[in-house]
Every structure is written in structure tokens, then in C-alpha cells.
Amino acid sequence: MPSCPKDGTEVRSPVKEWDLSPKSRKGPKLHIRLFECPTCGYRWRVVEKVG
């Protein structure tokens, strides 16, 4: 479970998530998840390679 880098609050679900097409056709597809800490309001993104 992702946690806030500022204060360690665990955030269960992302506020937003989307797929990002690779810049080149050979590159991996990326899946972006945006998390927002309910405690301090800090936002951060987690990027995963898909496939």
C-alpha cells in the first residue's frame, strides 16, 4: 500500500490513474497513479511499466 513520503499516511486508492503511451513504439506502456495524502495534502505519482 502506498504511503505519503512526507508523513507516512497510507493511502488506499489513487485520486486519479491513467495510461501513458510510450514516446517511442518500442518503449513500454506506462500506468500512472496519482495519490493524495488526506493528512497533509501532498500529491505524488507512482509510475509502473505495463507489459
Interface with Zn ion by CB under 5 A: which residues? 4, 6-7, 9, 37, 39-40, 42
Minimal distance, residue 27 CB to Zn ion, in Å = 32
**Phi and psi of 21, rounded to 5°?**
-70, 145
Contact 13, 28 (CB under 8 A): no
- Cα-Cα-Cα-Cα dihedral of 36, 41, 42, 48, to 10°? 0
Minimal distance, residue 1 CB to Zn ion, in Å = 14
Give 14 or 30: the residue with its C-beta nearer to Zn ion.
14
Give 7 or 48: the residue with its C-beta nearer to Zn ion.
7
